[in-house]
């Protein structure tokens, strides 16, 4: 099984990916771990391609829209987490606060990455706020190019999530 987990920041992609990884024991790749090390598209694409080629089963979590087409053609299961933008921004802010207070460490993020509450962070929050309006169309377009036998799950509620977990195992 080749699983992609996509959605806005703050929707629970990494949390779900880790849960599936523990249950299914498939190799897991958090795209944030490789992007925030290289910041180089070619290296990013190469590492992503190597991961997909080297693993007959896998879980990949993250968006990175430029690489979505290459992931969609490999996937047989795509999980799209959707939540309100208020909830997503709240979760991102809460996560940032927990990191700042050293109550939480992101093992899904590159170790060298340092989150700062600066101009870039506020741009990121704006990105999260506008994600649905600005990114859903490109996600929908990428999903339209999926393999015919690829299953797509849209997860909007905790009930949807639980149902997915029951059916995927």
Cα gap 86→98, rounded to integer Å: 18
Q: What is the pTM of this model?
A: 0.92
Which residues in 40-139 belong to E strands, given as ranges?
Answer: 58-61, 77-81
Residue 100 is encoded by which pair of tokens?
A: 């700042």
CATH code at position 16: 3.40.50.300
The pLDDT score that the predictor gives to residue 31 is 94
Q: Please state, rounded to an integer, the average pLDDT across all residues of the chain.
A: 92
Collapsing DSSP to helix, strand or coil, 9 comes out as: coil
Structural domain total, the chain: 1
Segment 124-151, tens digit of pLDDT: 999 999 999 999 999 999 898 888 889 9
76 touches 1 (CB < 8 A):
yes
Residue 93 is encoded by which pair of tokens?
A: 């802010």
Domain span at 117: 2-168
φ, ψ for residue 105, nearest 5 deg: -125, 130
111 has a pLDDT exceeding 80: no
Segment 81-103, tens digit of pLDDT: 999 999 999 999 999 999 889 88
């Amino acid at each position: 099984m080749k699983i992609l987990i996509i959605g806005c920041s703050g929707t629970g992609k990494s949390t779900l990916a880790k849960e599936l990884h523990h249950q299914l024991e498939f190799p897991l790749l958090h795209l944030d771990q490789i992007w925030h090390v290289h910041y180089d598209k070619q290296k990013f694409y190469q590492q992503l391609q190597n991961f997909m080629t080297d693993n007959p089963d896998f879980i990949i979590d993250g968006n990175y829209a430029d690489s979505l087409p290459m992931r969609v053609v490999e996937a047989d299961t795509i999980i799209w987490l959707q939540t309100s933008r208020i909830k997503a921004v709240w979760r991102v802010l809460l996560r940032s606060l927990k990191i700042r207070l050293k109550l939480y460490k992101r093992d899904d993020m590159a170790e060298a990455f340092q989150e700062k509450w600066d101009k870039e962070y506020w741009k990121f929050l704006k990105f999260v706020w506008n994600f649905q309006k600005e990114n859903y169309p490109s996600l929908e377009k990428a999903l339209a190019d999926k393999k015919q036998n690829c299953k797509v799950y849209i997860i909007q509620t905790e009930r949807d999530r639980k149902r997915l977990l029951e059916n995927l195992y």
